[in-house]
Amino acid sequence: MSSETFVQRTRIPAPAATVFDWHMRPGAFERLSPPWERVSVLASPGAISEGARVVLRVGLGPFGIRWTAVHRDIVPGRQFCDEQVEGPFARWHHTHTMEPDGPDACFLEDRIEYRLPLGVLGQLVGSAATRAKLRRMFDYRHATVAADLAAHAPWSEGSLHVAVTGSRGLVGSGLVPFLTTGGHRVTRLVRGRPADPSEVGWSAEGGIAEPALLEGVDAVVHLAGENIAAGRWTEARKAEIRRSRVEGTRRLAEQVARLRHPPRTLVCASAVGYYGHRGPEILTDASPPGRGFLADVCREWEAAAEPARQAGIRVVHMRLGVVLTPAGGALKKMLLPFRLGLGGRIGSGEQFLSWISLDDAVGAFAHALHMPAMTGAVNTVSPAPVPNKEFTRLLARTLRRPALFPLPAAVARLALGEMADALLLASTRAVPTRLLTTGYRYRHTNLEDALRHLLGR
């Protein structure tokens, strides 16, 4: 049976060699993987090279399947190929081509020759669905390549060495590959025994296992902290949330401050929970703190970086809103009930939600690394917070489902206790004044556009 061919061709406003180099660097596959796909890398050499193999686990319904591909036919600055040697297709040959269109642009073309399994039956059942899935995937991939290269362009003259805690968390899993594909070097600060030379042991309790390994790094990004939505807030759970953020930040700040050659910059995660429940009040980066457990934790969390400030290190506190990605966090938890048509507003629905897409959260952290005049608090949110009832309406519309089943406040409190008031019912209308005034360019300022991009709709 003959193979089918899929082609996606997009003009990218960057030189062919630049687009090629981006694809060659570690992290490119992670940046290109749509967040709605269940794909994990089991083995990879990192950067692409002739004959190198990458082994993936790809979700297929409730199951997973192993997929092994070999990189071949590399033409520097112009082309490389991936060929399946084990996986779900009877044949898969993927050619990536960067065709120059003048000195400052190129056409990025992905050409895939494939044959479905099960012969004629497989083609009859799966041909249209496969082509639609490929179109959806490569629309996302080409948009990501173009947007990432545009984001890197202003800072292309020099690379940074950045150490990152929480590198496999929600934001870290996007930030690390964004930095490495941009030509920056990343050292992961990891719990437990380091697995390779790019990792250094670290914990909130003990700090950096070998601080000397961070001598001379340009910046540290601190993302680690206990998940505040992982379980009901018992007193023990609240103590662990506070300890992981406050003590972990203090230890890290103290240790980097004592280095002979300390980093110039420390960028720490924080949260708009700093402001507490404030109704419709518009909250800028300079607004005072609110009341409640989360507000108290955020205030102490930010204060814990004081040893770094005292040592002359530039410290930035990124007050994150709800980070949107179907790969994790709040949006992932909402998808199943909304896909089943069981979603709806929470409580009155009037409470404001300060949101940001994962790509913009990653972009904002990178922006903070590159802006030497930026210090202190930065609201890391989109410019357009929305009431909960608007968020749930748009999510349902994006998924083509009704939103007819509201969650009463009393039921939320019965199920989650104090956590319901802080995470579901509190209203925080934060705006990103400092990001906008320092020239950060958002990818997603409209919630519906963001949801359609993130969900491949």
- Residue-number span of the structural domain to which 450 is assigned: 158-455
What are the strands of the beta sheet with 53-60, ordered from one edge? Answer: 4-12, 106-115, 91-100, 79-86, 63-75, 53-60, 39-43
Angle of CA points 107, 110, 114, to nearest 5°: 160
The one-letter code for the residue type at 5 is T
Regions in the chain scoring below 50 on pLDDT: none
- 374 and 420 fall within a common domain: yes
Cα separation of 62 and 38, whole Å? Answer: 10
pLDDT at residue 197, as a whole number = 85
Are the C-beta atoms of residues 313 and 257 closer than 8 Å to each other? Answer: yes
- 129 and 185 fall within a common domain: no
pLDDT at residue 61, as a whole number = 60
Last residue of a domain, one of 137, 153, 169: 153
Closest CA to 328 of 355, 358, 356, 354: 358
Cα separation of 218 and 369, whole Å? Answer: 9
Closest CA to 86 of 69, 61, 64: 69
Cβ of 165: how many Cβ atoms within 10 Å?
26
- 168 and 216 fall within a common domain: yes
pLDDT at residue 421, as a whole number = 85
- 216 and 353 fall within a common domain: yes
Are the C-beta atoms of residues 244 and 345 closer than 8 Å to each other? Answer: no
If one counts the domains in the chain, the total is: 2
Are the C-beta atoms of residues 82 and 94 closer than 8 Å to each other? Answer: yes
Last residue of a domain, one of 153, 188, 207: 153
Torsion of CA 443, 217, 308, 252, to 10 degrees: 90
- 282 and 349 fall within a common domain: yes
pLDDT at residue 202, as a whole number = 93
- 222 and 136 fall within a common domain: no
Mapping DSSP to helix (H, G, I), strand (E, B) and coil, where does residue 265 land?
Answer: strand
β-sheet bridge partners, residue 190: 201
Say which CATH number the domain at 61 has. Answer: 3.30.530.20
The beta strand positions in 87-133, using DSSP E, are 91-100, 106-115
Say which CATH number the domain at 278 has. Answer: 3.40.50.720
Are the C-beta atoms of residues 53 and 72 closer than 8 Å to each other? Answer: no
- 291 and 369 fall within a common domain: yes
Q: Which residues contact 434 (CB under 8 A, 6 or more apart)?
A: 285, 374, 377, 378, 379
- 112 and 213 fall within a common domain: no
Last residue of a domain, one of 153, 173, 206: 153
Burial-class residue 173 by CB neighbours within 10 Å (0-12, 13-18, 19+): buried
pLDDT at residue 149, as a whole number = 96
What backbone phi and psi angles, to 5 degrees, belong to 39? -130, 135
Are the C-beta atoms of residues 81 and 97 closer than 8 Å to each other? Answer: no
- 82 and 162 fall within a common domain: no
CA 146 to chain centre: 17
- 282 and 170 fall within a common domain: yes
Are the C-beta atoms of residues 7 and 111 closer than 8 Å to each other? Answer: yes
pLDDT at residue 253, as a whole number = 96
Residue entry with tokens 């083509």:
400
Cα separation of 141 and 34, whole Å? Answer: 7
Cα separation of 337 and 330, whole Å? Answer: 12
Cα separation of 116 and 121, whole Å? Answer: 9
Check the CA dihedral 449-451-456-457 and report its sign: negative
- 216 and 121 fall within a common domain: no
Closest CA to 293 of 251, 356, 233: 233
- 8 and 100 fall within a common domain: yes
DSSP state of 328: B
| Alpha-carbon separation of residue 51 from 31, 44, 70 (angstroms) | 22, 12, 6
DSSP letter string, 150-178: HHHGGGTT---EEEEESTTSTTHHHHHHH
